[in-house]
Amino acid sequence: MNARGIPAVLSYSTRLPATLTRVQIDCERHTYAELECRKDMNILSSSGEEGVCVDMTMVCLNDFEEYAKQHLSKATWDYYEAGADDCCTRDDNLLAYKRIRLRPRILRDVSINDTRTSVLGMEISFPVGIAPTAFHCLAWHEGELATARASEAVNTCYIASTYSTCSVEEIAAAAPNGYRWFQLYLYRHRKLSEQIVRRVEALGYKALVLTVDVPYTGKRRNDIRNQFKLPPHLKVKNFEGMFQEQAGSPEKYGIPANTLDPSISWKDVCWLQSLSRLPIIIKGILTKEDAELAVEHGVQGIIVSNHGGRQLDGGPATIDCLPEIVDAVQGRVEVYMDGGIRTGNDVLKAIALGAKCVFIGRPAIWGLAYKGEEGVREILQILHDEFRLSMALSGCRNVAEINRNLIQFSRL
């Protein structure tokens, strides 16, 4: 335990390297602190090392973002940060939350708060999970293994990506008691998709998350400028050894180009249902029309998602789409969302507008870059604590009391 009574593994602090001369931390896009660090100051760290700055408090998710931007390579940072084209949709995912105001209730006895909820019948500690993002080993050497252990420790849901740098078997072994879903693409060669579905079902993954907004990959300008490729020591481990006959062919994001199937349609949802008994969740729905079709095709959940603004630029922010989709499905399936979640206030707004749970993508990567498993746990802990505080200040004692009466839309 540290001086504030917080377990050391969840302490929001880090130690600055001796070579760093200045750090500017941007929280809510405003500089709130500048830390000067010089060897000649002879500052002692908690371990007694000379020339190392005292611990720097990590207060909000923006602090982790700034740390990751400074410590990851430019090509890696650009890959994670990329949006499609002008990045309008990526940026609007964040800005949209600022157009929403809260209507707090008072004198409600919020001395006890319960943040627990459930997804597909499984209880989790609070309504924030980890979205599927690729190539975690670019941010931390243990990659998805660290992410899986962090989500298991916090008791929430982790959606493992097809494009993981650790295999589904390795992820399951790293966090054997964790609650995991698997994110799936459909490929021109359907056997690839079929084989991995069989593997994850046998390993105890609890749902299939079918990503449907990538018939083609969006244009991410910095990836093109950087000629982004995985370094030679990293692979898309789920497909290791499966593309040997295509060795030497052009690659895109770690696998041969043109592997994804642009002919994917609703009939493929039926094919997937014939293949597995796992619940199917559709990720990438933004309209009520597609939400209604998803319900008609018997899926168990919808993730309102625009792929972090990395696919179609000029589309709507996910939080703006959420009420329409919740109204369309009328409780027949669970609705989740991702995109733009940076604070506990954001989580509260999404739940109030009808999301059962939200998922974070880039912030998990920032946590990895900061301190691996411990960093991801700190990201989740900060969001949990902020969400619980926002609940209490809004007069909500448990998740069931959060509803649209809390919400007021404001024009900026």
Contact between residue 179 and residue 204 where contact means Cβ atoms under 8 Å apart: no
**Cβ-Cβ contacts under 8 Å for 244 (sequence gap 6 or more):** none
- Exposed, middle or buried, 338 (CB in 10 Å: 0-12/13-18/19+)? buried
CA distance 395 to 229: 49
First to last CA, the chain: 43
Residue for token pair 């993002």: 133
Scanning 82-218, the segments in alpha helix (DSSP H) are: 88-98, 144-154, 168-174, 190-203
**The one catalytic residue among 30, 136, 307, 384:** 307
Let me know if 384 is a catalytic residue. no
Q: What percentage of the chain's residues is helix, strand, coil (to nearest 5)?
A: 40, 20, 40
Contact between residue 185 and residue 244 where contact means Cβ atoms under 8 Å apart: no
Rounded to 5°, the CA angle 275-276-281 comes to 110
Distances (CA, A) of 69 to 36, 79, 160, 250, 404: 19, 11, 23, 29, 36
Q: Which amino acid is at 394?
A: S
Contact between residue 154 and residue 380 where contact means Cβ atoms under 8 Å apart: yes
Handedness of CA 63, 64, 66, 71 (dihedral sign): positive
Beta-bridge mates of residue 31: 26
CA distance 112 to 89: 38
Q: What is the CA radius of gyration of the chain?
A: 21
- The two beta strands, 301-304 and 30-36, are unpaired
H/E stretch holding 252: strand 251-252
Helix, strand, or coil here: 53? coil
Q: Which amino acid is at 349?
A: K
CA distance 41 to 246: 57
Enumerate the active-site residues: 307
